[in-house]
């Protein structure tokens, strides 16, 4: 899973469908770039959208799937308690047709067994 952490189109930029177009280009480009750089194929993109400020309209328009809200704890929380941060919408975008099935498989912990490579996916 790869986190899509920053995405901003300034308010004065008025180009129809620009957000959907850019998100689609990033989703197409990311798997081959990761295969080349890290020899792995990501299966899923994830992003968090501040629910108090934004609705995630561009992600919805680009067919990302909203799966829920965070608890507002923040990334650095170690206590399991809410930190007063606003909950965020969680959006996912599958990069592989069988992403769900592949992510739900039991991990292969036997070092003698070959793991699936990017070419197998």
Contact between 52 and 118 (Cβ < 8 Å): no
Among 50, 41, 53, 49, smallest CA distance to 23 is for: 49
Question: Which tens digits make up the pLDDT trace of 28-77?
Answer: 999 999 999 999 889 999 999 998 988 899 999 999 999 999 887 766 66
pLDDT at site 9: 86
- Three-point CA angle 52, 15, 58, nearest 5°: 35
Contact between 15 and 66 (Cβ < 8 Å): no
pLDDT at 79 over 70: no
């Amino acid at each position: 899973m790869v986190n899509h952490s920053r995405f901003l189109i300034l308010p004065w930029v008025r180009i129809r469908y620009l957000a959907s177009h850019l998100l689609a280009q990033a989703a197409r480009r990311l798997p081959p770039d990761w295969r080349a750089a890290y020899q792995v194929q990501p299966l899923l993109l994830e992003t968090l959208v501040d629910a108090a400020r934004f609705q995630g309209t561009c992600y919805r328009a680009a067919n990302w799937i909203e799966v829920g809200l965070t608890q507002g704890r923040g990334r650095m929380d170690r206590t399991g308690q809410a930190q007063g941060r606003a909950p965020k919408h969680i959006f996912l975008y599958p990069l592989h047709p069988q992403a769900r099935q592949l992510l739900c498989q039991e991990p292969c912990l036997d070092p003698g067994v070959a793991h699936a490579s990017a070419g197998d996916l």
